[in-house]
Structure 1
Amino acid sequence: METHLYKQLYMHIVHEIQQGKLKTGDRVSSEKELAEQFGVSRITSKKALEKLAEAGVIKRIQGKGSFVANGHTSGLELMRQSEERTSAAIRVQERHLIGLIIPSFSDEYGLKLLHAMEKQSALHECDLIIKRTGGSKEEEEHAIQLFVSLGVKGLIVTPVHGEHYNAELIRVVLGKFPVVLVDRYLKGIPVCSVYTDNRKAAQDLTLHLIGKGHQNIAYLSPPVENTSALEDRLLGYTLAFTREGLKLNQDYCLTNITGTRSGSWAGDLETLKSFLGQNTDVKAFVVSEYLVATMLAQAIDAQGKKLENYDIVCFDSLNDFLGKPIFTHIQQDEKRMGEEAVELLISQLYGEAVTEQRIVEHRMIVKE
């Protein structure tokens, strides 16, 4: 089993006492000092000190700090007893359940996010349970109700796309149930959220194409209404034109691609083929999702046109068989997003104040 973070701090103080660096009555480092010294959260350092107090190794005095207790056992006996007490506490302690509700996950986006959440949850002795909604609001609502009934202590949610917020999600948020949103935020509703700066990212992609000499640049996306990530990506695209003093052709904005939600791409393929036929001057595309970019590539090929004559940029992407990116794309820092989401949720469980929005930096990966 991987050593828990708080146990490392716990044993550090035990070693300090064992080696005589700390003696009876000496002050022990505070929660803040330990957190800064070891690069951990205040939650972790607080738990280490609480466990030391429970074991009788230190005495905590409110308003003054923590001190090495009188009559403690020294040397190897202290080490042995402390390790036994810590191991016993870990075995008997109830492990909290955390629920993750997500539309889906795949190699291009989601798997690294999931792995990071699982690892970070384990470090806090929490078990992460997962429910995929497939983009269905009904499934999302059912998942929230199910997880709450199972006794989860908090929820991490990537809300499904749609015109309206899920009433069940709003209910738990307004009810002060610990919730963290990932890759989304809810406008006008105070809820902790971790996400990429989608506006800036889409602007970066569009400016990249403008920098390559393109002015007729189309934008492809599923419907954007009430989906913060997609709304911000569309806004970033339009702001790039404003910044460069270029005219934006609204006819080049296609936000009716529904295949990523319905699973059926036949209608989208015809829509894209029709657009390509009617707008032969458009050779560059900003695409909000990787799967839509692959469908565009199929539409280009289906019309007998060469893909290398087009510049396609998108969010998230896979590599080809040589390990090179298929498209120039925005790479979201899924690992950090997952870690941040769990840390913010744990902070809420301990009653700590958390920032409402946490933006994680992105990178643009340019296809050679």
Structure 2
Amino acid sequence: MEIPLYEKIYLNLLKQIETGQLQPRDQVPTEKELADQYQVSRITSKKALDKLVQIGAIERIRGKGSYVSNTLPDFGTLVQKNDDEQNHRQSQPVNGLIGVIIPEFFTDCFGRTMLRNIEKRCSDLNFNLLVKLTYGSQEEEEEAINTLIQHQVKGIIIYPVNGQHYTASLLRLVLEGFPLVLIDRYLKGIPACAVYTDNKTAAQNLTEFLFTQGHKHIAFVSPPEESTSSIEERIQGFMTAYSQKGIGVNPNYLITDMFSTLPTFSQSDEFVKDQTKLRKFIEENSDITAFIAGEYEIACVLAQVLKSLGKSIPNDYAVACFDHSRTLHNDLTFTHIQQDEELIGIKAVELLLKQIHGEIVPIQNMIDFQLVEGNTVSSIKEM
């Protein structure tokens, strides 16, 4: 069987990294450059880069490009693992296909560990995994679901697309009782099995932690909630903390129109727009002493804006967020909520297999989290 084009690009780049032609922190060619070099589509070149990200060989830095990771995978172990997995699968009967639908290949700040554990658990149980990407598009989600059904998958694990409406194909799966597990979020009013972090309690705890450090004027920054349960619950947790403290929440301190982290938008254009919004907000709200970012990437955008204004973290502003990159690109380690990606992945597979075997499973399955203190929050008394 001829090797796919994206696999050739992936192997060539991996060889360059392994032999030292590309060193840690070196920038790797862009999707367009690779597409031109190999005379392929940008979808093909992106798939090659996505696979390098997935194994930890390269890291994507929003707004800057892709770079060779500081900490590289063990290439010998990687090759041996691939060989061992292939030999094991060839010697065992395959139980069938499991479909996974995600917006795009996950980063190390959230999703990669979860996907790795989904794959590992399926492999241990001798199920093959078929992954489809939606790039945040509901049209692509529809197509992905239909494609997986055509491939006769036994069940589907899906990270639903953000949006005010659910896709018809997704609703059809639920109504037909097809084995299905949602990850990271649930569908309001729809009885679909979901595995996700206790986002409301997590945001409440994060806000309360800032209170203990003397911060009372805190802004919450996130993408639009738009029926996205994870964002909605984080906002609810933020407001609940204020309510229990007996302090009113200034509605102007809820900034929920950040778009640069969403895959459906032109990131370079939205990155500039988000920076402009945040800069204006900071300049117009001198009472603010702390921020909670609904996502790690938004915390990074915020940090760049504060730096451009000559402000220091944590001396001038405290910043906390959800999730965190395992590879630091600067000296900031955000105080953050660390989601249990490993358990989310394993739990999703277990619940899916129970449905495949005809068992009834709980609809809502919340996973605990950990609040990790970094170096981006200091007591307001010290500020």
TM-score (norm 1): 0.73
Give yes or no for contact 1:319–1:326 (8 Å, CA) kept in 2.
Answer: no
Distance across 2 between alignment mates of 1:228 and 1:338: 18
1:289 is aligned to 2:292: no
Task: Show the counterpart of 2:142.
Answer: 141
Task: Show the counterpart of 2:84.
Answer: none
Deviations 1:148-169, CA, capped at 9 Å, x for gaps: 1111110000101111112211
Instruction: Write the letter of the residue equivalent to 2:235.
Output: L
Task: Show the counterpart of 2:358.
Answer: 351
Task: Show the counterpart of 2:276.
Answer: 270
Match of 2:310 among 280, 304, 308: 304
1:330 is aligned to 2:337: yes
Deviations 1:217-250, CA, capped at 9 Å, x for gaps: 0010111021000000000000000111111111
Task: Show the counterpart of 1:96.
Answer: 96
Give yes or no for contact 1:290–1:314 (8 Å, CA) kept in 2.
Answer: yes
Task: Show the counterpart of 1:65.
Answer: none
1:341 is aligned to 2:348: yes
Give yes or no for contact 1:182–1:195 (8 Å, CA) kept in 2.
Answer: yes
Instruction: Give the CA deviation at 1:325.
Output: 6.4
Alignment coverage as a number of residue pairs: 282
Task: Show the counterpart of 1:210.
Answer: 211
- 3-state SS of paired residue (1:203): helix
Q: Larger Rg: 1 or 2?
A: 1
Deviations 1:290-346, CA, capped at 9 Å, x for gaps: 111111111111222223321111100124659986200000000000000000001
Give yes or no for contact 1:287–1:314 (8 Å, CA) kept in 2.
Answer: yes
Structure 1 runs not aligned, ≥5 long: 1-89
- 3-state SS of paired residue (1:259): coil
- 3-state SS of paired residue (1:207): helix
1:165 is aligned to 2:171: no
Distance across 1 between alignment mates of 2:224 and 2:97: 34
Task: Show the counterpart of 2:320.
Answer: 313
1:221 is aligned to 2:227: no
Instruction: Give the CA deviation at 1:93.
Output: 3.3
Deviations 1:109-155, CA, capped at 9 Å, x for gaps: 01100110011101211011111212111111111111111111100
Give yes or no for contact 1:165–1:226 (8 Å, CA) kept in 2.
Answer: no
Question: CA 1:268–1:324 in 2, change beyond 3 Å: closer, same or farther?
Answer: closer
- 3-state SS of paired residue (2:177): coil
Moved more, 302-311 or 277-286: 302-311
Instruction: Write the letter of the residue equivalent to 2:307.
Output: D
Instruction: Write the letter of the residue equivalent to 2:93.
Output: Q
Distance across 1 between alignment mates of 2:91 and 2:322: 43
Give yes or no for contact 2:94–2:128 (8 Å, CA) kept in 1.
Answer: no
Distance across 1 between alignment mates of 2:372 and 2:332: 8
TM-score (norm 2): 0.70
Instruction: Give the CA deviation at 1:95.
Output: 2.8
Give yes or no for contact 1:260–1:292 (8 Å, CA) kept in 2.
Answer: yes
Structure 2 runs not aligned, ≥5 long: 1-89, 376-383
Give yes or no for contact 1:318–1:325 (8 Å, CA) kept in 2.
Answer: no
Task: Show the counterpart of 1:150.
Answer: 151
- 3-state SS of paired residue (1:342): helix
Instruction: Write the letter of the residue equivalent to 1:250.
Output: P
Runs of 4+, deviation exceeding 6 Å: 322-325
- 3-state SS of paired residue (2:261): helix
Instruction: Give the CA deviation at 1:171.
Output: 1.1
Instruction: Write the letter of the residue equivalent to 1:356.
Output: I
Distance across 2 between alignment mates of 1:243 and 1:157: 35
Task: Show the counterpart of 1:49.
Answer: none
Distance across 1 between alignment mates of 2:256 and 2:182: 24
Instruction: Give the CA deviation at 1:201.
Output: 0.4
Identity %: 42
Distance across 1 between alignment mates of 2:328 and 2:353: 40
